[in-house]
Amino acid sequence: MGGAVSAGEDNDELIDNLKEAQYIRTELVEQAFRAIDRADYYLEEFKDNAYKDLAWKHGNIHLSAPCIYSEVMEALDLQPGLSFLNLGSGTGYLSSMVGLILGPFGVNHGVELHSDVIEYAKQKLDFFIKTSDSFDKFEFCEPSFVTGNCLEISPDCTQYDRVYCGAGVQKEHEDYMKNLLKVGGILVMPLEEKLTKITRTGPSAWETKKILAVSFAPLILPNHTDSGKSRIVHLPPVAVRSLQDLARIAIRGTIKKIIHQEAMSKNGNGLKNPPRFKRRRVRRRRMETIVFLDKEVFASRISNPSDDNNNSEDLEDDRQEEEETKPPELKPDPPVNFLREKVLSLPLPDPLKYYLLYYREK
């Protein structure tokens, strides 16, 4: 699946292409996509393909095409504080982007069939938290993953505000998926070769919308041949944050507000330099002459032989003027992690500073 947009040179260019093609339509989704580099979820030897709008699979590791993920993110209508369940959570790429929007008081759970993919997802999540400067621009709802078949979830599990299934669902499993939703919740899944959005509008009321045609590998049915018994999947508990963790969230939030206020005071209205206006050049144009003769109209284009040369000279003058007024190309300064800099400057014991920074390496 994929190939709907051109390949990008880097993650930002890929997102630019998805925006231009209207796969990414909201600011929250755009911010989440830009914050996490898709290439970080590829094995090193395959990273050259990371910014193509194509699915990627290696063994049990799988990533859907960027255009699919962006449609899914938009359809989920994510908001801070919601609960999310990812069925077939794979590498954790989608779950991590969702976590950036859910914020610290959301719930972010994933179920994945293959234990080796769970380990891969945990490694990628740890890498993102410890090394990415994007992490400090958000308050993150860290995903929790469990191993198991998503068709064997315990019937007494909690229901979720948002659910996504990353494998093809047949009609006989539609009701099973719907029952994972709270009233008012949204389920997005490939249902009979169509990416489908289902909104639960009441205890037994649903609204269904087909988004686009897709081709997903089907759900793997539970295998009971070993013992004849179902392996019940117990989802992670909805944990209450500790007072210590709540304090860290509050302190980081306060520091971010101070940084924002300082930036506003320093930059005023946000325009560091007044805009430069280019002087418009008045160009000589060829004139059309209309001649009236015995009630008939004859139109002819009369041009001065020197007009063509003058026009060429005007274009050359314009080009030179643009060259003269173009500001010199400057290499952008490396981005500064202002939150980190501010925390490290505080008169606090080092262990407390590192705790506020989630013990991050950068």
CA angle 291, 294, 297 (to 5 degrees): 35
Say how far apart CA 106 and CA 141 lie, in whole Å: 6
Length of the chain: 362
Choice among 6, 64, 96, 230 that is catalytic: 64
Say how far apart CA 108 and CA 84 lie, in whole Å: 5
Q: Is 3 helix (H, G, I), strand (E, B) or coil?
A: coil
Does the annotation count 64 as an active-site position?
Answer: yes
Say how far apart CA 66 and CA 50 lie, in whole Å: 10
Q: Is 331 helix (H, G, I), strand (E, B) or coil?
A: coil
Answer yes or no: are the C-beta atoms of 139 and 252 closer than 8 Å. yes
Say how far apart CA 238 and CA 236 lie, in whole Å: 6
C-alpha distances (whole Å) from 178 to each of 172, 208, 230, 319 are: 12, 11, 21, 62
C-alpha distances (whole Å) from 180 to each of 28, 165, 183 are: 25, 11, 10
Q: Which residues does 191 contact at the CB level (< 8 Å), separation at least 6?
A: 168, 169, 171, 174
Catalytic center residues: 64
